Chains A and B, each alone.
Chain A
Amino acid sequence: MVLNCRHVWDRISEYIDGTLDPSVRADVEKHLAHCEICSAVLDSTRNVIILMADDRVFELPVDFSKRLHARLDQVLAAESPDPA
């Protein structure tokens, strides 16, 4: 099947995750091979996904862990887990 650009955009997320059917994937790749716009959309979407997964983007607040474990210490000293 010959896909137009919109068809390809609709499949970009699944293409990146590798969950498209092999035949659809082949059609998308055929389109990407000659469409510079869609290739750029694909690359930039993939780049945004890579940036989001980088630990430096969403960092824990400073001393988050210290405060969490201090609070836990208080509760662990005072309480047992609820019985099943």
Chain B
Amino acid sequence: MTSSHAAATLQQQREAALISAILAGEREKFHDLIRPYERQVYLTALSLVKNETEAEDVAQEAVLRAYRKLASFRGDAKFSTWLIAITLNEARTRLREGKRVLLDSLDNHDQEGGDYTPAALTDWREIPSAALERQEICRLLQEAVAELPDSFRQVVILRDVEELSVNETAEALGISIALVKVRLHRARLLLQKKLVPLLRIEWKEQKKSGMLRRLRWF
């Protein structure tokens, strides 16, 4: 057994014990059960509703729903996957109530190939990690993700922001692994194309100011 596998098993056992205790009446332990997943629940909500305030509302409702429905968690899936599915449902309900229609089936971005051309800038090899402390860079990334087509944004947030595996992403979204891979690929290339020219300008300006701590990443 690998150490990461062992850690995952240990976490699952810890969660199973917490869930039994909560269902047996130690309700306050639900705080501990949910604490490791707050960020994941919020980001999952944000992948659908896009607006921060609304995402927080959805996240709260999803957590309350998970508490109320806890007895229906079977333990054959990971708790995190179950929680993400609840959050996505909650977010979809919210969007329907707001009469905003998700035109998922109508967006036609799933074809492979197409006329996509990446931003080919050979002088952007290094990453300005220190630059992340600057709001501007974070904002550019957030906006680029928010502007993705809905189906792409969901996949990229679960896979690249929350760092779920491709399989977990497919399970949470209820779509095939092949479709996750296609959407992920298209989303990443769209982000590359959009962000690289912008980040490069930011980076060059910072370099001129002489404040950049340059890190070689690869």
Distance (whole angstroms) from the CB of B31 to the closest CB of chain A: 6
Q: Complex formed: what's the CA distance from A49 to B127 in Å?
A: 11
Out of A51, A53, A60, A71, name the residue touching B163 (CB < 8 Å).
A53
CB <8 Å contact, A61 and B56? yes
Known A40-B124, A44-B192, A61-B56; judge A83-B71 contact (CB<8 A): yes
Q: Are A51 and B132 in contact (CB under 8 A)?
A: yes
Find out whether the CB atom of B71 lies under 8 angstroms from the CB atom of A68.
no
Whose C-beta in chain B lies nearest to the C-beta of A84?
B71
Beyond A41-B192, A81-B23, is A58–B161 a contact (Cβ under 8 Å)?
yes
Stretch in B3-11, B36-44, B80-88, B98-106 touching the partner:
B36-44
Q: Which A residues are CB-close (under 8 A) to B160?
A: 49, 52-53
State whether A69 and B31 are in contact (beta carbons under 8 Å apart), knowing that A61-B52, A61-B56 are contacts in the complex: yes
Q: Say whether A72 contacts B30, CB under 8 Å.
A: yes
B185 touches which of A12, A39, A46, A56 (Cβ 8 Å): A12
| Chain B contact residues: helix, strand, loop or mixed | helix
Contact of B184 among A13, A39, A68 (CB under 8 A): A13
**Contact pick for A60, options B42, B112, B145, B161, CB 8 Å:** B42
Q: How many residues of A contact B (CB 8 A)?
A: 47
B166 touching A17, Cβ below 8 Å: yes
Question: Which B residues fall within an 8 A CB radius of A?
Answer: 22-23, 25, 27-28, 30-31, 34-35, 38-39, 42-43, 46, 52-53, 56, 59-60, 63-64, 67-72, 112-113, 116-125, 127, 129, 132-133, 137-138, 141-142, 145, 156, 160-161, 163, 166, 181, 184-185, 188-189, 191-192, 195-196, 199, 217-218
- A residues adjacent to B (C-beta < 8 A): 9-10, 12-14, 16-17, 19, 36-37, 39-41, 43-61, 64-65, 67-69, 71-72, 75-76, 79-84
